[in-house]
Amino acid sequence: MTHQNPPSIIALDGPAASGKSTLGQTLANALGYLFFDTGVLYRAITWIALQQHLNLQDETAVTKLAQDAQIDIRPPSQKDGRAYDVLLGERDVTWDIRDGQVDANVSVVAAYAGVRQALTDQQRRIGMRGKVVMVGRDIGTVVLQEADLKIYLDASAEERAKRRFDEILARGEPAQYKEILHNVIERDRIDSTRAVAPLRPAQDAVIIDSDKMNASQVYELVMGLCK
């Protein structure tokens, strides 16, 4: 389903660690578009809540955080592997929001309707300007239903856990495959069973199963769809 050639608004959804960020970034670079990784917003709210020792079960308090938070995403200020800076006020939280504590708790925060409402409004405002590759879970189904091209990037939980495991080892950090697999499955479960904006392909999405494809094969396939 392509309305424009090349498509101006590209929605890229899929489960955790399916390669959305890599694909989204390469695609955005090639097209000269903005790359917007919306998971960053949910992660930033989770990180603040943990910092403030907020009870994450307290939906009202977490929602208020999401409504008040000043999250900024800027071009990368450092060459340490980051694709962008994530700022909370003056503080650079680009790597903080990737830590295990945030991974383990972000799905709970992302399931709250009020949190989603606050963050969806911000995403829509940016996405509707066009020339954007927006990556998330509900971009094609909720945030930008009018997207010109919708991709749903899938892969088995085992393959995704293996990729995440290799990534962490490559950074020289310790990793346990079994633990990562468990987290991936648990995040999928929460993300796809929540009442509001659950993870699922949009009806008009192109579904790509990347189990037996490498990153450049996926990229070529999607570039082909853009032409």
Q: Which of residues 179-198 bind ligand DC (CB under 6 A)?
A: 187, 191
Distance CA(175)–CA(209), nearest Å, equals 25
How buried is 23 (Cβ within 10 angstroms: 0-12 exposed, 13-18 middle, 19+ buried)? buried
Min dist CB 227 to ligand DC, Å, is 26
**Among 138, 151, 155, 161, which residue interacts with ligand DC (rule: CB under 6 A)?**
138
Minimum separation from the CB atom of position 156 to ligand DC (A):
17
- Round to whole Å and give the CA distance between 92 and 155: 32
Neighbouring C-beta atoms of residue 173, cutoff 10 Å: 8
Residues 6+ apart with CB under 8 A from 217: none
Q: Is 43 in the site for ligand DC (CB under 6 A)?
A: yes
Nearer to ligand DC, 134 or 222 (CB): 134
Cα–Cα distance, 110 to 193 (Å, whole number) = 12
Residue 137 makes contact with ligand DC by CB under 6 A: yes
Task: Return the residue of 26, 38, 183, 210 that touches ligand DC, per CB under 6 A.
Answer: 38
**Residues of the shown chain interacting with ligand DC in the complex, contacts defined by CB under 6 A:** 16, 38-39, 42-43, 106-107, 110, 136-139, 187, 191
